[in-house]
Amino acid sequence: MESVCAERRVAAGERLGGDGALAEALLAQVADWRWAMDAEFRIVRAEPLAEGRRLPPLPALIGYRPWECPALVLDERRRRRHERLLWQCQPFRGVELAWRTDRGRQRWFSISGVPRLDEQGHFHGYVGVATDVTARRRVEQSLRDVRAELDATLRALPDLMFEIDGDGVFHGVHAPQPELLAVPAERIVGRRDVDLLPPEVVRITHQALDQAREHGAARGHRYRIKLADGVHWFEMSVARKAGRDRYVVVVRDITELNALAFYDPLTGLPNRRLLLDRVEQALLRLAREPDWAALLFIDVDDFKRVNDTLGHAAGDRVLQELAQRMRAVVRSSDPLGRLGGDEFLALLTDLGTDLYSARRTVQRVGSQLRERLSQPIAWHGGVVTVSLSIGGVLFRGAQQPDRLMQAADQLMYRAKDRGKNAIAIQLMSALVRRM
């Protein structure tokens, strides 16, 4: 901007002619020094426009073309550009040159100039002004440094980052781990989220955008999505950009953290929190269906003896092996998990509408669990054997989770009272009359 004004002031100075003092005052407001060149582009005049300003060694410029002057710092690219401008014999503005101070530092100035033509239009050189722009250059360099640091930080972060507008159109993507993207990065920009993501993820995304639109930011929005290597959990944070309906979306893969929060680290089974949630969700569905279901409370007999005689490492190994064997018996669609210690819970669903058949299925699953889990477990050159006591409560229709667990727990202790290594099965309706 200052170079545009400077050019206008030069032209104004030429037109004002007789009122030299006014022209000088105007020039001094927008420039630091003025200069003149001859027809061969040698500097023939260089003088300050006001006192007390930091200027290059002006006398050292006299007699030199800018690209030949030892006082100026001009790289090859800038030299060619400046020389090309001068040979065009046209007005120019905003050409930035540098000079090195006595302390070895660089200062920058911006020059603007207009050609000097006689009445016949013959070219006789240039006149122009120069303005110190060192402060602006330093600010620009600081901004570049900050941007470089931010870019380096972004490259070091594993998070996915997107720029998206309020309509769900993507305007940018940063994907240091492209395998975490639902679609390749080159297919994202310019497209809407509804075209790329599952409906549930789109719904959660727009909830976060709405919150960020109102409050400036949104955090903690979680969703899951199926990728090539399986299901991943993500946590989304959103920040609104100033002045526009644009948002920066940061997405972090929390699959491992989610596993720690919802899965038992020893056995890999759902922990109590996730297990009970899955049971409650299943019960909501079962309340609307006529099929029978069964809740199994599974306890390892005399597990304390294993820990006391062989140590906790042996106990951990036993629990890990038992969990693997349970997975092989219980259907993957049925909730199975570790409640804590040596207690496990399984919910058998879709047992059909015939009570006799449902009871036989529960009896068969219980027998398979007892048989498989009683097989010897290798441990340090020897073997460990354990048995199970199982309480199974049969039910259908709407049920309260706590009452079901209480009933299954009571039946498990009934199996232990029978001498352990047994399964006790009862209808929930029969148990309710006794509870």
Whether 146 is in a domain gets the answer no
Query: Considering the domain boundaries, does residue 254 fall inside one?
Result: yes
Whether 214 and 357 share a structural domain: no
Q: Which residues contact 167 (CB under 8 A, 6 or more apart)?
A: 192
Residue 347 lies in a domain: yes
Mean pLDDT computed over every residue of the chain? 87
Same structural domain, 284 and 405: yes
Task: Establish if 293 belongs to a structural domain.
Answer: yes
Phi, psi angle pair for 60, to nearest 5°: -70, -10
**Parallel, antiparallel or unpaired: strands 92-100 and 72-73:** antiparallel
The torsion of the CA quartet 270, 275, 278, 284, rounded to 10 degrees, works out to: 170
DSSP string of 56-94, one letter each residue: --GGGGTT--GGG-TTEE--HHHHHHHHHHHHTT--EEE
Residue 150 lies in a domain: no
Q: For residue 226, count CB atoms less than 10 angstroms from its CB and return exposed for 0-12, middle for 13-18, buried for 19 or more.
A: exposed
C-alpha span between 350 and 330 (Å, rounded): 13
Percentage above 70 pLDDT, the chain: 92
73 and 183: one domain?
A: no
Q: In total, how many domains does the chain have?
A: 3
DSSP label at residue 270: B
Same domain flag for 416 and 279: yes
State the first-to-last Cα distance of the chain, in angstroms, to the nearest integer.
Answer: 87
Between 260 and 277, whose confidence is greater? 277
Q: Is the dihedral of CA 317, 322, 323, 328 positive or negative?
A: positive
Task: Say if residue 271 is in the same domain as residue 365.
Answer: yes
The span from the CA of 96 to the CA of 90, in Å, is: 17
Q: How confident is the model at residue 336 (pLDDT cuts 50, 70, 90)?
A: very high
* DSSP structural state of residue 194: G
Looking at residue 241, the DSSP 8-state letter turns out to be: P
**Structural domain of 415:** 265-432
Q: What is the pLDDT of residues 112-137, one digit of tens each?
A: 999 999 888 899 999 999 999 999 99
Scanning the structure block, which residue is given the tokens 């975490």? Answer: 180
Residue-wise pLDDT tens digits, 39-92: 999 999 988 888 777 778 888 889 999 888 888 887 788 788 888 888 888 899
Q: Would 104 be classed as within a structural domain?
A: yes
Q: Are residues 314 and 236 in the same domain?
A: no
CATH of the domain at 176: 3.30.450.20
7-11, 295-299, 384-388, 407-411: least confidently modelled range:
7-11
Q: Of 94, 109, 139, which closes a domain? A: 139
Residue 245 has which token pair?
A: 């309906």
Does 149 fall in a domain? no
Whether 6 is covered by a domain: the verdict is yes
User: Both 375 and 404 in a single domain?
Assistant: yes
